[in-house]
Structure 1
Amino acid sequence: MSRNGLFLLAAGLAVAGIACLIMGVSLQNRDIRTHVAENYAAYSRSGEATSYECDGSPTEVADRLADYQSPEARATDRGTEYLRYQDDIVIVGPDGDRPCTIRVEDVRGSRYMGGGFIFLGPGFFPGAPAGGSGGSSGGPGGSK
Structure 2
Amino acid sequence: MSRTALFLLAAGLAAAGIACLVLGISLQNRDIRTHIEENYAAYSRTTEADSYECTGSPSEVADRLAEYQSPEARASDRGTEYLRYEDDIVIVGPAGDRPCTIRVEDVRGGRYMGGGFIFLGPGFFPGAPAGGSGGSPGGPGGTK
Q: TM-score range by the shorter chain?
A: 0.7 to 0.9
Segments of structure 2 that go 5 or more residues without pairing to the other structure are 137-144
Q: Percent identity?
A: 87
CA distance in 2, matches of 1:13, 1:63: 40
Q: Which moved more, 1:126-135 or 1:29-38?
A: 126-135
1:74 matched to 2:99? The reply is no
The corresponding residue for 1:92 is: 92
Task: Report the aligned-residue RMSD.
Answer: 1.9
Q: Distance in 1 between matches of 2:96 and 2:3?
A: 71
Gap runs ≥5 in structure 1: 137-144
**How far is 1:4 from its partner?**
3.9
1:56 and 2:56 aligned: yes
- Report the CA distance between 1:96 and its aligned residue: 1.7
Number of aligned residue pairs: give it.
136
Listed as ranges, the matches of 1:1-144 within 5 Å are 1-129=1-129, 132-134=132-134
Q: Secondary structure at the match of 2:60?
A: helix
- Note the C-alpha offset of 1:130: 5.6
**Which deviates the most, 83-92 or 93-102?**
93-102
- Residues in 2 aligned to 1:114 and 1:91: alpha-carbon distance in whole angstroms: 17
1:78-122 C-alpha deviation (Å, 9 max, x unpaired): 111100111110001111222211100011222111111111011
Letter in 2 for 1:46: T
Cα distance in 2 for partners of 1:117, 1:18 equals 43
Give the partner amino acid of 2:67.
D
Match of residue 141 from structure 1: none
Deviation at 1:32, TM superposition (A): 1.1
Q: Provide TM-score, normalisation by structure 2.
A: 0.84
Q: Secondary structure at the match of 1:7?
A: helix
Change (3 A) 1:46 1:17: same
Q: What SS does the corresponding residue of 2:111 show, helix, strand or coil?
A: helix
